[in-house]
Amino acid sequence: MMKGKVYIVGAGPGDIGLLTVKGLMCLQKAEVVIYDFHLNAQVLNYINHDAEFIYVGKRSGHHTMTQDEINEILIQKAKEDKIICRLKGGDPFIFGRGGEEAEALAKNAIEFEIVPGVSSFIAAPAYAGIPLTHRLYSSSFAVIPGYEDTTKKESAIDWSKLSTGVGTLVFLMAVKNIDLVTQKLIENGRNPDTPVAVIRWGTRPDQKTITGTLRNIAELVKEKDIKPPAVMVVGDVVRLRESLRWYEKKPMFGYRILVTKEHPEGSERLEELGAEIIEFPTVEIVPPESYDELDKSIDKIATYDWLIFTSRNGVKYFLKRFFEKDRDIRDLKGIRICAIGSKTANEIKRYGLKTDLIPDEFHAEGLIKVFSQQSAFGSLKGIKFLLPRAEKAREVFPEKIRELGGEIDVPVTYRTTKPESRGKRLKRFLKEGRISIATFTSAATFNNFVEIMGEKADELLKGVAIAVIGPVTARAVENAGLKVDIMPREATIEALVEEIIKWATKGDR
C-alpha cells in the first residue's frame, strides 16, 4: 500500500490570516508543495524549508502547465511515497478544478484529503463592506462563474431564473465578460438600476472597489482599468458598502511593507492597522565556524567583571554554547550583565538572569558613554569585559575600553550568512511599484538584499520609502546612493514600527 498522500488545501484569497489552521498544519508537514499563482506566496514561509516546491500557476494568458500535467505530477509524487500539499487559492472546490484533481487521485487509488479554504466569493465582498445576505436586503445568494468552458455547446446558466430568482449574485472571473453578463441579467428581467460592486484583489493591500449599477458598471470597469482577478456582486446589499466598509478605512490600508528579517516581532501592529508584511529574510543566523575563541572565554568565565550583550542572538548563542560545555548558570554569579536594549534584556531574563545595566542609547556609542562615566578617574584599569558578538562587528566599543585601560575579549559567538534566495517574486513586486516601504535592521540585511537583487537594486528601490534601525545601517544605505526616509531615535523594532506608522499616517510621503 502506498504511503503517499495528497492534501488539496485552499489557501484563501490573499490575506495570509485567512489561511485555516488545518491548512497550515498540512503545509508544515508537506514534503512536496505544488502551488498556484492566485495565492499569497508568503504562506510558503511556514513550510519546512526542506520541502520541494513546484509552481504550476495559471493566470490570464500564462499557463505554466496544463491541468493534465498538474494531475500527473500529483500522481507521480504520491507514488514516490511523498506527503504532498496541493496549495490552491481560495477554496479548491469553488471553480478551482480541485474536483478534477481529486478524481485523478481517486482513479489511481491515491489517498487524499480536501482542506476547504476561504473563497474569494465571500471574502472579497466582506473586505469591501458588503454582506451577501442581510435581513432587510437579501435572504439568498448564488455564486456563478463569469465565464463558462468554451467547449460547451450551450450555456449551463439559466439566465431567466437566475436574474430575478436570487437576491444577491456573485460572479467570479467576470471582468472580461462583464458586458455579456450585465446584458444577460437586464435582458432577463433584472432592474438596470440594481447596485453592483466590482472588487479587484480582495483582502490584499491593493484591493480596489468600484460601484455602479447594472446599466453602467461595464463602462466603469473599462474607465477605471479594472483587470482580473476580480469579484462582482449584484444586488441591493451593495448599498451597505458606504456604511460598512472597514478594511479600506484602516490607517495603513494599501501599504505593503518589505521586512528583510525572518519572523519579525513587532510587525503585528502594522498588520492590525491594515498593512501587509512581505517577509524576505536577507540574513540567516548560524553558529560560528569555530568555537575556539568562545570556548576559551567560557573556560575562564569567572575572571570577568562584566558580560555585555548587544543583541538577543548574542544571548541565545552564548548561553547555548555555555550549557553545551556543561556549565551551570551559577557559574555566572558575581559577573555584572549589561544589555543593549530592552529586547536583549528580556532575552536575558528568560534564562533567569538579571540585567544590571541598560544604556540610554542602544548602540556602541551609548555603551562607551555609560562606561566612560562609570570609570574611576577616567580609567577602567583592572576591569575585564566579555562581549560575545557577531563575526562582523564594529570595533568602536572594544577599542575605547582598551583606550580607557580595560581588558576586553570579543569572541565570535554567531555569524550571519546570506540565504539562498532568487527573489523573483519580490523583484516583480518592486518593478510594479507594489512595495511601499522597505525595512533594514542592519547593514548586513541591506547589503545582502542588494546582492540578491543584483546590479539594478538601487533602481528597484526608487519610489520605495526606506526605513532603518541605527546610523550604521543608514550609512550602508546612503553609501549605495539611496536616501533613508525613516529612522527612529531609539534602535529597537518597536521604535521603528512607531516611526513607520507616524510617517504613513501623517502623510509625510
Residues 6 or more apart whose CB falls under 8 angstroms from that of 273 comprise: 250, 251, 252, 501
- What are the Cα distances from residue 330, in Å, to 244, 309, 324? 59, 18, 15
End-to-end CA distance of the chain: 61
Dihedrals phi, psi of 225, to nearest 5 degrees: 55, 50
Examine the pLDDT at 375 and tell me if it is beyond 70: no
Residues 6 or more apart whose CB falls under 8 angstroms from that of 136 comprise: none
On whether the CB atoms of residues 283 and 313 are closer than 8 A, the answer is no
- Give which of 116, 53, 49 is closest to 84, Cα–Cα: 53
User: How many C-beta neighbours within 10 Å does residue 173 have?
Assistant: 18
In tens, the pLDDT along 63-94 reads 678 899 999 999 999 999 999 999 999 999 99
At residue 124, the pLDDT reads: 98
- Report, as an integer, the average pLDDT of 142-168: 82
At residue 509, the pLDDT reads: 47
At residue 156, the pLDDT reads: 79
Please provide the CATH number assigned to the domain covering 286-416. 3.40.50.10090
In tens, the pLDDT along 389-437 reads 988 877 878 888 888 888 999 999 999 888 876 688 889 889 999 999 9
Euclidean distance between CA atoms 92 and 12, whole angstroms: 9
Q: State the DSSP code for 314.
A: H
CATH number, domain 5-118, options 3.40.50.10790, 3.40.1010.10, 3.40.50.1370, 3.30.70.20 = 3.40.1010.10
> What is the grid cell recorded at 480?
549605495
> What is the grid cell recorded at 387?
562581549
Residues 6 or more apart whose CB falls under 8 angstroms from that of 503 comprise: 465, 467, 485, 486, 509
Examine the pLDDT at 292 and tell me if it is beyond 90: yes
On whether the CB atoms of residues 233 and 181 are closer than 8 A, the answer is no
| Domain ranges within the chain, ordered by starting residue | 5-118, 122-249, 256-283+419-505, 286-416
- Report, as an integer, the average pLDDT of 209-222: 97
Structural fold of domain 122-249: 3.30.950
Coil/strand/helix, residue 312: helix
Residues with a catalytic annotation lie at 36, 58, 173
At residue 179, the pLDDT reads: 94
- What are the Cα distances from residue 69, in Å, to 6, 65, 73, 112, 352? 16, 6, 6, 18, 56
The answer to whether 5-118 and 286-416 have equal CATH topology is no
Look up cell 463569469; give the residue: 146
Structural fold of domain 256-283+419-505: Rossmann fold (3.40.50)
